[in-house]
Amino acid sequence: MLIKKAADIASSEITSKSLYLNRRKFLAGSAALGAAALAGVGVHSLASPPLVEANAKIDGLQKSPFSTTENVTPFKDVASYNNYYEFSTDKYEPASLARNFKTRPWTVKIDGLVKKKLELDVDSIMKMAAPEERIYRHRCVEGWSIVVPWVGFSLSELIKRAEPLGKAKFVEFTTLYDPGQMPGQRRDVLRWPYVEGLRMDEAMHPLALLCFGMYGEVLPNQNGAPLRIVLPWKYGFKSAKAIVRVRFVENQPVNTWQQSAPQEYGFYSNVNPNVDHPRWSQARERRLGEFGKRPTLMFNGYDQVAGLYSGMDLRKNY
């Protein structure tokens, strides 16, 4: 079998998502049949859940000028390796545990210091602006990174609908709390529901993405369906998934990881190779699907946001 390194592979040579998933299901089914025949067990008792894939194509996508030109991480890696503690602390389990997660009906409450308090259906939110495909680098605090063609539009489009008051300095995001559907919430790994926050100017920055799809399709459940944010200059845990509430507040919210381990995770959590995590270095990262490591870039390479932090000590405000 010919094995190529990621740098040598053109996008046209990457196996399509549907072909890969069908092949995976076929191989899993063949193995199950063989094992069942040898053991004398019914095939249905060996069946494993398929990898959850996106639900539908998203039409009318516009290409975004914010996109990187780096090679896109294959869908199979992004859809099967997830940090999603609401389902599991194991990175491979959310893909199967989220299989039956219900994303409809789904409403998002928008309140706090706003002129217009709203409760919006997720499908109406998805139609607020023309969908864009933004190929973003995404950096995880554990040292791995991905390049994903996310689909959505600037978070500012949603914020403007609510007309925040002058006293609103921060935006707080709350994710779904549903232990019946999210088995990870039955454990006290974190304090649930998951809460994240941004300063208002961060939330209004054009790079902040309100996301409902990836790879041209609706988000898979394990990647944050039906609605999440994507903040490419911050570590991945800042990009809250399965959002049910957006609240505008005067004081800085305490995000979940900051509450859980303040010595390790701060409010800003900008990608900064010069500030080590207490248990590992942040100077280098490993791209999913690659073997070697590469240097970590300040703000994950998104220098457009540097002005947001002018005059701040980014070692202290980590």
Is the pTM value of this prediction over 0.95? Answer: no
Reported as a single tens digit per residue, the pLDDT across 65-98 is 999 999 999 999 999 999 999 999 999 999 999 9
pLDDT of residue 55: 60
pLDDT of residue 27: 39
CATH code, domain carrying 212: 3.90.420.10
Residue 318 lies in a domain: no
Shared domain for 147 and 11, answered yes or no, is: no
Reported as a single tens digit per residue, the pLDDT across 151-176 is 999 999 999 999 999 999 999 999 99
Nearest to 119 by CA among 171, 164, 170, 158: 158
How many CB atoms within 10 Å of residue 48?
A: 11
Shared domain for 9 and 77, answered yes or no, is: no
Instruction: Look at the block and give the residue holding tokens 């995001």.
Output: 173
Q: Which of 27-31, 48-52, 225-229 has the highest mean pLDDT?
A: 225-229
Reported as a single tens digit per residue, the pLDDT across 254-264 is 999 999 999 99
Shared domain for 35 and 87, answered yes or no, is: no
Phi and psi angles of residue 177, each rounded to the nearest 5 degrees, phi first? -110, 110
pLDDT of residue 278: 93
Q: Does the pLDDT value for residue 41 go beyond 60? A: no
Structure-model confidence comparison of residues 18 and 26, the more confident one: 18
Range of the domain at 74: 54-309
CA dist., res. 80 & res. 77, Å (int): 5
How many CB atoms within 10 Å of residue 63?
A: 11
